[in-house]
Structure 1
Amino acid sequence: MTGYMAEMRKLVGHKTIIQCAASIMCVDDKGRVLMGKRSDNHMWGYSGGSVEIDEYAEDCAKRELLEEMGLIAEELEFFYVNSGPETHYIYPNGDEVSNFEIIYICRKWSGEPKSVDGEMTDLRFFSYDEIDIDQISPPIRPVITKFIEKMKSVK
């Protein structure tokens, strides 16, 4: 952990912090979403992370995608705001957060998916009917549920 959140953790320890985050769900032309297995809780998730001071949410989401999955986002579309009690989470290291997360969908990117910073392993695309919600990282389950609903309604 670096940047703003690392500085806040020095001040508050493991106490709950409101975590403002931005994330990207890369969706391919078959409607599949790219996810990686998180190295901290060994559950599946998309790329995303904490917004730094004065950083635009879109820039944060793009930065996180590059850092975690090695892809450059070329176009973003707003998808969802994930907040509320369902997003309260305690990381395996004991850090506690209440998430406020802006999620974008990216259908146009460049590069090949690869784990860059070690936060994610086993990157792969999932169709909505392959996703096991119990294997999704808990604070993003509402987002994945919304994504599945959206994909079912398109069919």
Structure 2
Amino acid sequence: MGMSDYYKDLREKIGDQLIFMPSVAGIIRNDQDFILFGRKHHEDVWGLVAGAIELGESPAEAMTREAKEETGLDIVPERIIGVYGGKERRYTYSNGHQVEYLTIVFDCRVISGELDRENDEFAELVFFPEDQLPSTAIKYPEHIFKANGERADF
């Protein structure tokens, strides 16, 4: 889907300035317990399936929508792994847009669908084993990637 009308209107008013963005991210695993990561078009770094929470949308609804748009998979957000924010969650996109994310990370279960490796959001979608995770644009605590790791880190 790309940027929503809400964020497009906001960017028209403030340009590339830093904005605060409530968002979601998902730990989506396959049958081998590998975690799904994507690399966006024209970006070198990887990221979790993630996106902004839109006006009127619950965090769980946002996670479900983002997963479908970015991967073609239908998922269920089963539990919150953690909530992360602060200066270390700042990112500048290749177009100059600056954001500081407040991210709710969900453990997600795939219920149906086929992985769509050719979509508008990601150039690549790959499942990685826990011991071979790629470097990511936004940093998260390592324990969120462990299948039996701690949950709820605020």
2:25 is matched with which residue: 2, 7, 23?
23
Q: 1:103 matched to which residue of 2?
A: 105
1:37 aligns with 2:39: yes
Contact 2:73 2:110 in 1 (8 A): no
- CA shift digits 1:118-152 (9 cap, x unpaired): 221221211111113xx312x2x225x2324x347
Contact 1:35 1:44 in 2 (8 A): yes
**Residue identity opposite 2:143 in structure 1:** K
Q: 1:82 matched to which residue of 2?
A: 84
Contact 2:143 2:149 in 1 (8 A): no
Partner Cα distance (1:72, 1:104) in 2: 14
**Residue identity opposite 2:63 in structure 1:** A
Aligned positions of 1:113-132 closer than 5 A: 113-115=115-117, 117-132=119-134
Q: TM-score normalized by structure 1?
A: 0.85
Unaligned runs of 5+ in 1: none
After superposition, the Cα gap between the structure-2 partners of 1:84 and 1:13, relative to the gap in structure 1 and judged at 3 Å, is same
1:73 aligns with 2:75: yes
Q: Percent of aligned positions with the same letter in both sequences?
A: 26
Q: In the TM superposition, what is the alpha-carbon distance from 1:112 to its structure 2 partner?
A: 1.4
Q: What is the number of residues matched between the two proteins?
A: 148
Partner Cα distance (2:25, 2:149) in 1: 23
SS of equivalent residue, structure 2 residue 31: coil
